[in-house]
Chain A
């Protein structure tokens, strides 16, 4: 019967001891330990969440990069096309201008040649005239000693002059 009769002394000391243990452990053990554990759990949770966010951000960045790259490529294409067009246009323009210049030069040259030719012809005619006069003079001097011959010569020369 003793075995199942709670002793007052032990009840008393158990109450005091248990309350002491509860208060001390609560303040100095459970609070810091549970706090540290939940802090760590929160830390892990936030770390996981931020990792997920970072992953999403990376994905976004990647997509952005892709888009920017595409745009850049398109722009480059456009730029190159423009450049090519400009180049072609420049070449064409230059060609046209050169042609025009050349044509102009040719025309001028032709004109110059024509005028030179005319001048040369005039000179030649003058020379021929002078020469003819010299010759005629000489011939006349020689031939004019004989009247018949003079007349004959004049007639033949005139006939020649008409031919010219």
Chain B
């Protein structure tokens, strides 16, 4: 979409919206009287959940129950999320092995042994419950696995193409994936790491690139309903930690020298630079974590906020504006999916390149 067509669409939408504002303000209150809470809705979509809830049908939520796996002081406890009956306020109690569990704000609490129901303190935190270690297959884990299946389908099929055709000509899906793989190799790995050393890191770089990208894309598909895997800080932190570990393991003498005893500067400067470099070592993965998390989450929040405008104004007249805006943001986000995957991979490659750089 060019800028001028976007402008046309935008102003037409604005005009329609303004002409309906009078009509909209006369509308009565929400039917079921429940106040629409945009923040709650957005946070619900952006954050992780214990069940997969694609849509409502006739006012009832249609969900896929996911297994809940808890490590409590009594050992491993597992049950299906459906046992909470979509309750998220802590009233539905599930009993397993003598322990009682409730779900409150998408967190599983274990009630203290004596209590029969959850009690909240002034700050609305459960007062008589503790948090067991939660290894549940949450919505994000579920969507991550779906993305893994899709990735495996795409790339194993691509790999098969080369096995079949003896002249190694990329046909079918390989014609799509090969340029991307060659792009990662020629534009990311080779220039960042160096001509011969890059080969060792190719599998890692390719995997994070496509893993992040496909999860970014999945986050944008509306009916997958908030598969915000790459916008979850746990996910980005883990991938950044992998980059950090690889960087640290492959760091050569030259790299450590640059951190602890910077060559080519006077001794006081060396001492001054050492803590900065040490902090920098950790800032790199942290920046990776936050960049991907913030970009993807921000995109989701913007789109959802624009959609929430319809419900805040309680008017269908706002819909064209909301839809036009979120379409625009969505188009930007489609670019962002690739850009963020690219940036994460480039920076990972850059850090690895810095760690493996030879003295010059």
Residues of A within 8 A of B (CB): 2-15, 17-18, 20-22, 24-26, 28-37, 39-40, 43
Cβ distance B96 to chain A, nearest Cβ, rounded Å: 17
- Tell me which of B134, B140, B155, B169 contacts A8 (CB under 8 A): B134
Residue pairs across A and B with Cβ atoms less than 8 A apart, 8 shown, are A6-B234, A9-B69, A10-B138, A13-B141, A14-B239, A25-B152, A37-B185, A40-B169
Question: Which residues in B have their C-beta under 8 angstroms from that of A40?
Answer: 168-169
Per the bound structure, the CA–CA distance linking A11 and B168 in Å amounts to 39
> In the bound complex, do residue B148 and residue A17 qualify as a contact, i.e. CB atoms below 8 Å apart?
yes
Instruction: Tell me if B203 and A37 are in contact (CB < 8 A).
Output: no
Q: By the criterion CB–CB under 8 Å, are A34 and B168 in contact?
A: no
Give the residue among A5, A31, A40 with the most B Cβ atoms within 10 A. Answer: A40
B residues in contact with A37, CB < 8 Å: 178, 181-182, 185
Chain B contact residues, CB within 8 Å of chain A: 43, 46-48, 69, 105-106, 133-138, 140-141, 144-145, 148, 151-152, 155-156, 158-159, 162-163, 168-169, 174, 177-178, 181-182, 185, 202-204, 206-207, 211, 232-235, 237-239, 242, 293, 297
A4-B233, A10-B141 known, 9 other contacts, Cβ within 8 Å? A3-B43, A3-B233, A6-B234, A7-B234, A13-B141, A18-B242, A25-B207, A40-B168, A40-B169
Say which residue of A5, A9, A14, A17 sits within 8 Å of B136 (CB atoms): A9
Contacts A6-B234, A7-B234, A14-B239 known; A25 to B203 CB distance under 8 Å? yes
Q: Which residues of B contact A15 (CB under 8 A)?
A: 238
Chain B contacts of A3 at CB under 8 A? 43, 46-47, 233, 297
- Chain B nearest CB from A9 CB (Å) reads 5
Q: Is B48's CB under 8 angstroms from A10's CB?
A: yes
Q: How far is the CA of A22 from the CA of B210 in the complex (A)?
A: 11
Which residues of B are found within 8 Å of A9, using beta-carbon distances?
A: 69, 133-136, 138, 141, 234
In the complex, which residues of chain A have a beta carbon less than 8 angstroms from the beta carbon of B297?
A: 3
